[in-house]
Amino acid sequence: MSAMLHTIELIGVLAFACSGLIEARRKRMDWVGVFTVAFIAAFGGGTLRDLLLDRRPLFWVENQEYPIILFILTLIAVPMLRRLRQIMTDKVLDWADAIGLGLFSVNGTSMAMEAGMPVFVCVMMGVITGIFGGVLRDIICNEIPMVFRRSQLYATCAFAGCWIYLAGHYVELPEVVSLLAGILSTFILRILAIRFDWKLPA
Amino acid sequence: MSAMLHTIELIGVLAFACSGLIEARRKRMDWVGVFTVAFIAAFGGGTLRDLLLDRRPLFWVENQEYPIILFILTLIAVPMLRRLRQIMTDKVLDWADAIGLGLFSVNGTSMAMEAGMPVFVCVMMGVITGIFGGVLRDIICNEIPMVFRRSQLYATCAFAGCWIYLAGHYVELPEVVSLLAGILSTFILRILAIRFDWKLPA
Amino acid sequence: MSAMLHTIELIGVLAFACSGLIEARRKRMDWVGVFTVAFIAAFGGGTLRDLLLDRRPLFWVENQEYPIILFILTLIAVPMLRRLRQIMTDKVLDWADAIGLGLFSVNGTSMAMEAGMPVFVCVMMGVITGIFGGVLRDIICNEIPMVFRRSQLYATCAFAGCWIYLAGHYVELPEVVSLLAGILSTFILRILAIRFDWKLPA
């Protein structure tokens, strides 16, 4: 179980990192910029959550292998980014990103609950964990954050997923079932939103 | 007394949130963006202060009703923003914002003093609390922060108000008198600065 | 020894502050903007490090004289910035900045080690301390951070210097020798990178 969660988490981290990598390259950054933006896209949301909840060690300090993997990945990926883009099509990226969104959001909510936060704050912490990596990535790249522009539902999926997780938690389902329900519903909502072009009203 | 302070605080929070709401709509953000920018404008300064002073729970976690009110307000306000702008004229917004500026700055200074910070740092913490919500709002909206552009005195009013509060504190006036003196002087200075177009020299 | 380190540190702080001062003036900010950007350029990296490591008091709270010196310096410098630029040529600025980069990076690594961080994280904390003042300065000025654009090696020099310090530490050289080796190698690498226009490959 734990190994499975770890694998899912790594997929999420790598998906978020890829979004940073691609964005940084589009802005013609050099290797340092690419690594930093990928790093912030992958770990920014979790770091902000840890700062707000006063959790230490930080997520990427506790799992030192994550930044190291990311470091090596960037070393390898930058020279062959064009080829990488043939494997990592937009569809693959969207799916991996949706997995990351679900996992990080629901995980953030669960950590906020453990820290004894009130319920609405727990959901906000979850959404922050899920989306702020991307927000910080876009701020560094000098763009208005993608999630705030009128595009297909993103934060809203995380918001719904976190409530579903909490609902499961309050009716005392086994924790793993609640977690999976939250992650899966975020994931499915996000995929549907992309598929059917669901947007928030103007 | 405490109820009065709470009411003033809520006015300040709502004024700052409105500035975020209007700015986010101008950038054509969707609902998620509007809420997030309003949230950051309202709570960003206080959150940064709490992080720097290592205070927990955070300001908006302790008062869970604030983010909930803001959430509901955004739900209501976005569809009727045009009508809202007729009630909330620039003048109303300026006055409410000046109240928020005074309250948050002086409050921030007082919290820094309680945390045992040295005196100049206390003033800086106050000004940070007062202005950084707006700074973060503008950064997310991809603008150079309004307070740093050559416009009517803003941070300077907060700076003066924080010193006035501290002066009252050191001559051992009753705390509530010092607080009110600081808040009021910030407020009056800001209103005068708008009225007579006071700016810093170039 | 400690007095020497303090002097070097002050040179670093002032060099970083100058970069903020010049950048803020270029963006036509008023006095408040100039001071804030200079402040963030000088103390932003160290503050982020202190937040991530949960160190209190913060660097510039412990040394209250630093923000006060910066405050007075800004008061004096802004009206005579043109004359200042004749003394502070690009070359002087580059040298002072390289000293600051070396000192802050190696110092950040050493603090992370004291806090018991794993080794790769220590190096990252060092580089963050060295470069994030400049990154935050550029974000506030609404630019893509200079260190991420393809220019002469900067973060890379800090990265190398931090490893050299750590190497010295692990072969149990006297601490002061390791520190100086790290700082000097960062400094020399950076000066060479400017002199010979070394860049990262595209």
Domain boundaries, chain A: 2-195
pLDDT at B48 over 80: yes
Average pLDDT over residues C42-55: 94
pLDDT of B16 over the 70 cut:
yes
- Nearest Cα of chain B lies from the Cα of A104 at a distance, in angstroms, of 18
Q: Which of A30, A64, A67 lies nearest to residue C148, judging by beta carbons?
A: A30
Inform me whether the C-beta atom of residue B54 falls under 8 Å from chain A C-beta atoms.
yes
The gap from C-alpha C71 to its chain's centroid, in whole angstroms, comes to: 18
The shortest CB-CB distance from A139 to any of B30, B71, B140 is to B140
Q: What angle do CA A91, A92, A97 make, to 5 degrees?
A: 100
Q: Coil, strand, or helix at residue C199?
A: strand
Contact B33 A118 (CB under 8 A): no
Is the CB of residue B58 less than 8 Å away from at least one CB of chain A?
yes
Q: Is A145 on the interface with C (CB under 8 A)?
A: no
Would the CB atoms of B148 and C58 count as touching at under 8 Å?
A: no
C91 touches chain B (CB under 8 A): no
Asked if B145 is an interface residue toward chain A (Cβ–Cβ < 8 A), one would say: no
Cα separation, A58 vs C149, whole angstroms:
28
Report long-range pairs for A18-21 (Cβ below 8 Å, ≥24 apart): A18/A88, A18/A93, A18/A96, A19/A93, A19/A97, A19/A134, A19/A137, A20/A133, A20/A137, A21/A74, A21/A77, A21/A78, A21/A81
- Asked whether the beta carbons of A140 and A20 are under 8 A apart, the reply is no
Whether C140 sits inside 8 A of B142 (CB atoms) is no
3-state secondary structure chain A: CHHHHHHHHHHHHHHHHHHHHHHHHHCCECHHHHHHHHHHHHHHHHHHHHHHHCCCCCHHHHCCHHHHHHHHHHHHHCCCHHHHHHHCCHHHHHHHHHHHHHHHHHHHHHHHHHCCCCHHHHHHHHHHHHHHHHHHHHHHCCCCCHHHECCECCHHHHHHHHHHHHHHHHCCCCHHHHHHHHHHHHHHHHHHHHHCCCECCC
Q: Can you list the residues of chain A whose pLDDT is less than 50?
A: none
User: Across the interface, which of A33, A54, A64 has its CB nearest the CB of C120?
Assistant: A64
With CB atoms and an 8 Å threshold, state whether A148 touches B60: no
- What's the CA gap between B157 and B186, in Å, rounded? 5
| pLDDT for residue C77 is more than 90 | no
Closest in C149, C199, C201 to A33, CB measured:
C149
CA closest to A75 among chain C residues: C201
B201 in contact with chain C, both atoms CB, cutoff 8 A: yes
Q: What is the pLDDT of residue B2?
A: 66
Q: Could you tell me the pLDDT band of residue B7, with boundaries at 50, 70 and 90?
A: confident
Whether residue B45 has pLDDT greater than 90: yes
Query: Does the CB of C67 have a partner CB in chain B at under 8 Å?
Result: yes
Q: Residues of C with CB below 8 A from A56's CB?
A: 54
Mean pLDDT of all residues in C129-155: 91
Distance from CA of A150 to the nearest CA of B (A): 5
Q: Cis before residue C57, ω within 30 degrees of 0?
A: yes
pLDDT in the model for residue C119: 94
Q: What is the pLDDT of residue A202?
A: 61
Q: Which pLDDT score, from 0 to 100, does residue B23 have?
A: 87
B interface mutation test: which of A47, A124, A197 has the most B CBs within 10 A? A124
CB contact under 8 A, A37 and C148: yes
- In the B/C pair of chains, how many CB contacts fall below 8 A? 62
- CB-based contact (8 Å) between A177 and chain C? no
Mean pLDDT: which of A18-27, B70-79, C154-163 is highest?
C154-163
Quote the ipTM score. 0.90
Identify which of B183, C202, B111, B127 has the alpha carbon closest to the alpha carbon of residue A81: C202
Say which residue, B176 or B82, is predicted with more confidence. Answer: B176
pLDDT for res C1 = 55
C30 touches B: beta carbon within 8 Å? yes
pLDDT category of residue B116 using cuts at 50, 70 and 90? very high
What is residue C59's DSSP assignment? H
Q: Distance between CA atoms of B195 and B90, rounded to whole angstroms?
A: 13
B71 contacts in A (CB within 8 Å)?
120
Binned at pLDDT 50, 70 and 90, residue C53 comes out as: very high
Q: What is the pLDDT of residues C15-31, one digit of tens each?
A: 899 889 888 888 888 88
Our CA-based measurement puts residue B144 at a distance from the nearest CA of chain A, in whole angstroms, of 11
With an 8 Å Cβ cutoff, is A29 touching chain C? yes
Output the pLDDT for position B103: 92
> Is the CB of residue A126 less than 8 Å from the CB of residue A183?
no
pLDDT at B84 over 80: no
Q: What is the mean pLDDT of chain C?
A: 89
* Residue contact A145–B33, C-beta within 8 A: yes
Residue C144 in contact with partner chain B when CB distance is under 8 A? no
pLDDT score for C201: 72
Q: Which of B117, B156, B201 sits opposite C61 (nearest CB)?
A: B117
Q: Which of A53, A142, A148, A189 to mutate to test the interface with B (most CBs of B within 10 A)?
A: A148
Please tell me the distance from the alpha carbon of residue B159 to that of residue A157, in angstroms, as a whole number.
42
Share of chain B above pLDDT 70, in %: 98
A37/C120 Cβ within 8 A: no
Mean per-residue pLDDT, C159-168: 96
Q: A67 and chain B: CB distance < 8 Å anywhere?
A: no
Split at pLDDT 50, 70, 90, the class of B25 is confident
Q: Looking at the complex, does the CB of residue B47 fall below 8 Å from at least one CB of chain C?
A: no
DSSP three-state, residue B149? strand
pLDDT, averaged across chain B: 89
Given this model, what pLDDT does residue B133 score? 93
* Contact B145/C at CB under 8 A: yes
Q: Distance between CA atoms of C59 and C133, rounded to whole angstroms?
A: 13
